[in-house]
């Protein structure tokens, strides 16, 4: 079992309007995280809220986390959450800040994302809560692309970068910080599982009420793990090594061939088919994963695997289509070759 803290800057009553009391509370919150590090606690999560008197005076986790990082050695420091809405935090600024936090913490930063706590908070930025889901859907995969690419461009509904820009710094080491999303409703648990990211559950209810949501999350994560294994198997059996490009080619071989259900029972069939150069037809929690080579789409939520090109070098990219009713060039993070 892993233990963690959630620090939100709660300051009830008249003290919420007393600057000395506010300062004392904020410094005490940071000290909790520093103290927990001495006892091997795993996480300290810091909220981001705006204009929510008493409930949360913690508005800038990206500012307090470096302070705590400098005074700790092991504890992972997370944002719970950083708001991805365009008017609150521009996606480029999020990518820059998170990558910098990854460096400053030595790889201990956990990137918790979300949409905010309700209409009052969003009105601070002239936003409606109905707008924020679309903004999160658009920004979340694009931030990862900013970290991956040197010449980043994007033409979206909520932000545009028309000329190529290299968003810096890149994350520390290999890959990027773990990504999470705040889950306030059942559908977001499913989105988190489909996206292969962590689910931050913050619910005022008995823990057993979360069972159905956790089961939905785990089902999609289970699929994602097996798909990675299938891609690696094709790459190894057909190309002699496991590479990103080989895995991308392997993921195009799961829509035509022997019918298999994702899981260990089908592993022998998958390996035999791949060794012979044949594909398989995979089904999982997200349904059929039929791949259309003409569009790069599948019928499931993860809709495109393609092999890109980075200054003449092949690069493996997984693009996520958020709107299954849209063509890939409009809804995905990239286009098939």
For 15-24, the pLDDT digits (tens) are 999 999 999 9
Instruction: Indicate if the pLDDT at residue 318 is higher than 70.
Output: no
The pLDDT tens digits of the residues spanning 38-63 come to 999 999 999 999 999 999 999 999 99
**Domains by residue range for the chain, with CATH:** 4-183 (3.20.20.30), 225-331 (no CATH)
Helices (H) and strands (E) in the chain, counts: 10, 16
Neighbours of 207 (CB within 10 A): 9
**HSE, side-chain direction, 13 A CA sphere, residue 179:** 25
* Lowest mean pLDDT across 6-10, 229-233, 245-249: 245-249
pLDDT at residue 294, as a whole number: 65
What's the confidence (pLDDT) of residue 286?
A: 64
Burial of 290 (0-12, 13-18, 19+ CB in 10 A): middle
Distance between CA 325 and CA 103 in Å, rounded?
A: 39
pLDDT tens digits for range 68-113: 999 999 999 999 999 999 999 999 999 999 999 999 999 999 999 9
The residue ranking higher by pLDDT, 248 or 72, is: 72
Output DSSP code: residue 267.
Answer: H
pLDDT beyond 80 at 227: yes
Q: Residue 305 contacts by C-beta under 8 Å, 6 or more apart in sequence?
A: 248, 251, 252, 291, 296, 318, 319
Report the candidate in 48, 63, 66, 67 with the shortest Cα–Cα distance to residue 7: 48
CA 166, CA 150: separation in Å to the nearest integer?
A: 5
The per-residue pLDDT for 325 is 34
282 contacts 260 by C-beta, under 8 angstroms:
yes
Q: Taking the model in full, what pTM does it have?
A: 0.79
């Amino acid at each position: 079992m892993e233990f963690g803290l959630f620090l939100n800057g709660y300051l009830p009553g008249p003290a919420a309007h007393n600057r000395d009391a506010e300062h004392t509370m904020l410094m005490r919150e940071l000290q909790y995280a520093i103290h927990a590090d001495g006892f091997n606690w795993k996480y300290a999560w810091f909220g981001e809220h705006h204009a929510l008197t008493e409930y949360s005076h913690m508005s800038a986790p990206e500012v307090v986390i470096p302070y705590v990082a400098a005074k700790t050695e092991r504890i992972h420091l997370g944002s719970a959450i950083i708001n991805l809405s365009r008017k609150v935090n521009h996606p480029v600024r999020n990518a820059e800040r998170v990558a910098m936090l990854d460096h400053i913490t030595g790889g201990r930063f956990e990137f918790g994302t979300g949409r905010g706590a309700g209409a009052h908070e969003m009105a601070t930025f002239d936003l409606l809560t109905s707008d924020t889901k679309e903004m999160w859907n658009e920004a979340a995969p694009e931030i990862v692309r900013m970290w991956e690419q040197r010449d980043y461009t994007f033409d979206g509904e909520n932000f545009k970068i028309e000329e190529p820009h290299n968003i810096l710094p890149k994350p520390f080491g290999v890959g990027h910080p773990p990504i999470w999303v705040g889950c306030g409703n059942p559908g977001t648990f499913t989105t988190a599982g489909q996206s292969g990211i962590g689910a931050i559950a913050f619910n005022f209810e008995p823990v057993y009420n979360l069972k159905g949501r956790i089961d939905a999350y785990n089902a999609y994560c289970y699929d994602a793990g097996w798909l990675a294994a299938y891609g690696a198997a094709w790459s190894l059996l057909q190309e002699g090594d496991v590479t990103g490009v080989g895995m991308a080619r392997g993921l195009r071989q799961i829509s035509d061939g022997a019918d298999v259900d994702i899981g260990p029972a089908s592993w022998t069939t998958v390996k035999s088919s791949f060794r012979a150069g044949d594909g398989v037809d995979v089904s999982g929690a997200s349904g059929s994963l039929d791949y259309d080579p003409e569009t790069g789409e599948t019928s499931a939520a993860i809709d495109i695997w393609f092999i890109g090109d980075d200054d003449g070098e092949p690069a493996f990219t997984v693009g996520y289509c958020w709107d299954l009713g849209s063509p890939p060039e409009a809804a995905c993070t990239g286009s098939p070759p």
